[in-house]
Copies of this chain bind each other. A is one copy, B any other.
Amino acid sequence: LLAISSPGNPLVKTLSKLQQARHRREQGLFLVEGSRAIGAFLAAGWRPAHLLVRSDEPVPADWPEAQRVSAAVIERISAAVTPPGYVAAFPIPTPPALEPARGGLALAEVMDPGNAGTLLRTAAALGVQQVALIGGVDPYAPKVVQASAGALALLRVHELPASDGLTPFADAPLCALVARGGEPPDHFRRGARWLVVGGEAHGIRDEWLARCAERLTLPMPGGTESLNAAVAGAIALYLLAMTEAP
């Protein structure tokens, strides 16, 4: 028995609008697709506002009650080419106050949803708990959520307007990841700091760079111009967080 079979159902229409940033803000909800990603949120104690499972898929035993829906309903809500059988809407959380001195990952105008999501996923895997997005992508956009593979469940995500720049970090230690001109990784001691990763096209704005006391450049002996932004950020995050004993 289906709880919802028609893609014209009012709830389905409402959820499908969560593809758009404006409606996410208005409703205070974001979409998570796929049983594995949804499971990560549930395991971290999040409670879905809506949990829809396509009628041909099993509902995992440790999940809360789900609404059974038709394939057409899922297709209406999801933007995926091949929608998974599971869609949930979770409340967008209000993070606790930013703790500048504790450090974390700062994405400064990172624009590519795949890169941003991959960096969120990497931060969560490496135990980095605070992430700040200064301008750039919306962390609750479906493509970011998808690439982050459930990592948002474990992170404190701070969205800061680009107009504030790095001001909210006050005098916290900031380490800019730059393609050239910085120190190599072995120059840095382990410790609480913010790794600042800039946008794909233009890197970190000059006035923001001026606030970063440290600058890290990964050696690239192969002679090519650059690493992918998510790869460079992930290697830097790994090296700063983990290469030296605590």
Contact = CB atoms under 8 A, between A and B. Distances in A.
Contacts of A238: 218, 235, 239
A154 B224 CA distance: 9
A40 B238 CA distance: 29
Contacts of A243: 243
Interface residues of A, number: 36
Contacts of A150: 224
A140 B222 CA distance: 21
A222 B114 contact: no
Contact of A149 (B118, B124, B228, B230): B228
B221 A118 contact: no
The CB with the most chain B CB atoms within 10 A, among A147, A150, A223, is that of A223
A226 interface: yes
Given A114-B114, A238-B235, A243-B243, A125 B224 contact: yes
B118 A222 contact: no
A242 interface: yes
Contacts of A118: 228, 230-231
Query: What are the 6 closest A-B residue pairs judged by CB atoms, nearest first?
Result: A127-B221, A127-B222, A231-B234, A125-B220, A125-B224, A125-B222
